[in-house]
Amino acid sequence: MKPVPKFFNTAGPMKPELHYCIDPLTRFDLEEIESLIRQNKYFILHAPRQTGKTSCLLALRDYINKQGEFYAVYANVEGGQAFRNDVKTVESRVVGTIAERAAMTLQSDLPRDLFHKVAASPEQDRLALYLKMLSEALDKPLLLFIDEIDALVGDSLVSVLRQLRSGYDLRPQAFPQSIILCGVRDVRDYRIVLSNQDIVTGGSAFNIKAESLRLGNFSREEIHQLYMQHTAATGQVFDEACFPQIWEATEGQPWLVNALGYEVTMNMRENRDRSVRIIPEMMYRAQERLIYRRDTHIDILIDKLREERVRNVIAPILANEDGEVEQHLKDDDIQYVVDMGLVVRDKPLRIANAIYREVISQANL
Ligand SMILES: Nc1ncnc2c1ncn2[C@@H]1O[C@H](COP(=O)(O)OP(=O)(O)O)[C@@H](O)[C@H]1O
Ligand SMILES: [Mg+2]
């Protein structure tokens, strides 16, 4: 079979054999992460939606497992989302996911066998028990990467965070040596509403002095490098004048960068003729089409605008209440909207890129 030509990925984590790709391991400070792991730290990796968090975690997992010193297990806890405050069901989902992923990584049935043991046990905190039993059973320290931690809410989130903390003193022999919690925000900043309406912060439930790393957007060089992969693969040339425009439109937001690339090289059919040179006017049209089409990425953005604290920050920016905007806003609200990737902390605050600006101003707050 002929190999499928590569393309710009607009759907989920990277597969470098299929997609034009910036090596995920170059997108964060790998040395720092390795050092945190060696120091037995628990830490947080966060960034807005579709920045490449999952791609980075998966690449890190594979990189570490190849070295052979640790077992790195990736688990996505998003499956617990639907069960809201049902602590037991969420816990069982989370443990089940970790067990499945561990079984794949270790290529052994042990993690599944332990899961069944734990499920049958009268113990209350089954996530903690499971991590303890698994860590003890392994011949190398366990590293656990938990993705989409912010899919969990309320009592369930608190229970999971509390249990992850509970074995901290047992690491690395009887608990994971290092845990990475990955989500959109720093989980310690959440105000978690419990089923009894009490509010606790993530930081009090996960009371571990942890580092927090934020994954950034692509630089201009990375955008260029990504698009050049298309040129190298197909011979199709981008006029150099396209690049300042791609930057302006996206400011390096990874999904937007790919979505523009896909639009202009694939969805705009006439450009599938690879002898067509891509010029700024085409990039501009791709941008308009993207905004008009309202992919999920854009739709979720518009959805966010319904939240009062988001509007509190965005509305004065749109109204161009220059310079003074910040003084009237709660820093918590600003941080929230920055963490969502909607706004950047320039002076004055501003919408993160031209595409978002256009989408937001069309949304009629
Ligand atoms: N290393 C990368 N190289 C190129 N594009 C990337 C890379 N990482 C992420 N992206 C872009 O971001 C999108 C989301 O990636 P993903 O890892 O699922 O992010 P997240 O977990 O932050 O939502 C991808 O579909 C792709 O468009
Ligand atoms: Mg993800």
User: Does 141 map to a domain?
Assistant: yes
Is residue 287 in a domain?
A: yes
Q: Where do we find the tokens 């003074």?
A: 324
Nearest to 208 by CA among 21, 36, 337: 36
The per-residue pLDDT for range 68-77, each reduced to its tens digit, is: 999 999 999 9
Verify that 149 and 225 share a domain, yes or no.
Answer: no
The answer as to whether 3 is a domain residue is no
328 confidence band (pLDDT: 50, 70, 90): low
Asked if residue 248 and residue 197 are part of one domain, the reply reads: no
Provide the domain count of the chain: 3
pLDDT score of 6: 96
- Domain-terminating residue out of 169, 194, 214: 214
Q: Indicate if 173 and 289 belong to the same structural domain.
A: no
Do 172 and 28 lie in one domain? The reply is: yes
The atom of ligand 1 lying closest to the CA of 20 is: 4
Residue 146 lies in a domain: yes
Q: Which atom of ligand 1 is nearest to the CA of 147?
A: 21
- Which residue, of 266, 293, 320, is where some domain finishes? 293
Site to substitute for ligand 1 among 8, 14, 146, most atoms within 8 A of C-beta: 14
325 falls in which pLDDT band (50, 70, 90)? Answer: low
289 in the same domain as 260: yes
Measured in Å, residue 148 CA sits from the centre of ligand 2 at 7
pLDDT in the model for residue 222: 98
In this structure, are 266 and 311 located in the same domain?
Answer: no
In a domain, 11, yes or no: no
Secondary structure E strands in the chain: 42-46, 71-76, 142-147, 178-183, 191-193, 199-201, 211-214, 343-344, 350-351
- 322 pLDDT band, cuts 50/70/90, is low
pLDDT greater at residue 44 or residue 210:
44
- List phi, psi (to 5°) of 252: 85, 5
Tell how far the Cα of 33 is from the centroid of ligand 2, in angstroms. 18
Are residues 71 and 52 part of one domain?
A: yes
Q: What is the pLDDT of residues 68-116, one digit of tens each?
A: 999 999 999 999 999 999 999 999 999 999 999 999 999 999 999 999 9
Question: 84 in a domain, yes or no?
Answer: yes
Quote the ligand 1 centre to 266 CA distance (angstroms): 19
- Measure 336 CA to ligand 1 centroid, in angstroms: 21
Q: Between 327 and 161, whose confidence is greater?
A: 161
Dihedral sign for Cα 344, 363, 305, 76, please.
negative
Place of tokens 């405050």: 85
Mutate to test the pocket of ligand 1, among 6, 9, 213, 253 (most ligand atoms within 8 A of CB): 9
* Average pLDDT of the residues of the chain: 95
User: What's the CATH number where 259 sits?
Assistant: 1.10.8
The reply to whether 167 and 244 lie within a common domain is no
CATH at 117 = 3.40.50.300
Cβ-based neighbours of 102, under 8 Å, separated by 6 or more: 71, 73, 75, 111, 134
**pLDDT tens digits, residue range 10-37?**
999 999 999 999 999 999 999 999 999 9
In a domain, 249, yes or no: yes
Whether residue 202 sits in one domain with residue 349: no
Mutate which of 23, 185, 258, 295 for ligand 1? The one with the most ligand atoms within 8 Å of its CB, which is 258
Pocket of ligand 1 (CB under 6 A): 9-14, 21-22, 24, 47, 49-55, 226, 254-255, 258
Q: Are residues 35 and 111 in the same domain?
A: yes
Q: Are 209 and 245 in contact (CB under 8 A)?
A: no
Ligand 1 closest atom vs CA 24: 1
Least-confidence region, from 46-55, 204-213, 306-315: 204-213
Q: Find the domain containing 91 and state its range.
A: 24-214
- Asked if residue 282 and residue 315 are part of one domain, the reply reads no
* Torsion (CA) 205, 123, 80, 334 in degrees, nearest 10: 0
Nearest CA to ligand 1 atom 7: 52
How far apart are the CA of 120 and the centre of ligand 2, in A? 32
327 has a pLDDT exceeding 70 = no
Are residue 196 and residue 274 in the same domain, yes or no? Answer: no
Last residue of a domain, one of 244, 271, 293: 293
Q: What's the pLDDT band for 207 if we cut at 50, 70, 90?
A: confident
pTM of the model: 0.96
Residue 322 CA, ligand 2 centroid: distance in Å: 35
Q: Is residue 18 part of a domain?
A: no
